[in-house]
Amino acid sequence: MCGIIGIVGVSPVAERLLDSLKRLEYRGYDSAGVATIDRGKLDRRRAAGKIRALEEALAAEPIAGQVGVGHTRWATHGAPTTRNAHPHRAGRVAVVHNGIIENFAELKRELAAQGRSFESDTDTEVIAQLIDRELSSGLAPLAAFKAALDRIEGAYALAVLVEGEEALIMGARRGSPLVVGYGEGEMFIGSDALAVGPFTQRIAYLEEGDYVAIDHDQALVFDAVGEPVRRAIHQVPASAALVEKGAYRHFMEKEIHEQPDAVQHTLSAYIDPVKRRARAPDGYDFKDAPRM
């Protein structure tokens, strides 16, 4: 399962994003990347392979900025290459995403017909393109984000940057977990409490369908229909074992709720949603299966 970290900070965030991604290596991944906004401009660095490759890319071309997002990716749609690594960018928007967008092929055809071009093979890039399209129509960032969420189907945990917004990260979850961390003059977003653990132990767990906007001091949380809601802030123990249970009572309950996302990730290796075809695992003949 991929890892997400986002920081609205009071000091440069690139190094802290990297440190958090290292804590998420246990999830498994095949590429990594970060994006920041500095002086109003969005920039990113990505690399295939281990986080040390991303560290080398950042050492060669450092990026500044006090707001940023990071991601470790386990390839689903698209090969594990730099061009398919997150964050994905379209115009003013950068997105990191855990999960699978089920209707991305349909949305991609729609956006391509409107003249938008794609640089990756992923489903995630569609999200960035949708948000940027809504921004271009004149919507404010949060309204553009909600308009995009209303179009996508599937499982997701998202963290989004918008160029020109130096104190804003937007996030949303459906089928994949996402948490908000509360600091002192800083706010965080992550795929689990372990991601934000180095920075704060005050954490709120977003509920299914929630979306959120964080700045330096607060989190504005909305439910799936756009109504403002409050989510309880928990004081989370530093123990990684306890942290990883998230909001669930025990690990069995957590694994039950993760089953849909796990099945989607498994099937995605054998399904091409663009060509609407499925293939068998390499070297396997279903005639040899006694039952299914």
CATH number of residue 178's parent domain = 3.60.20.10
pLDDT for 258: 75
Asked if 96 and 70 count as a contact pair (C-beta separation under 8 A), the reply is yes
Predicted confidence at residue 168, as pLDDT, reads 98
Residue 69 confidence (pLDDT): 98
pTM, rounded to two decimals: 0.82
Residues in the chain where the model's pLDDT stays below 50: 240-243
Q: How many helices (H) and strands (E) does the chain have?
A: 8, 17
Q: Tally the domains of the chain.
A: 1
Domain ranges, residue 53: 3-288
Distance CA 131, CA 140 (A): 10
Q: Is 27 helix (H, G, I), strand (E, B) or coil?
A: helix
Distances (CA, A) of 184 to 38, 187, 218: 21, 8, 10
**What's residue 250's pLDDT?**
63
C-alpha radius of gyration, the chain, whole number:
18
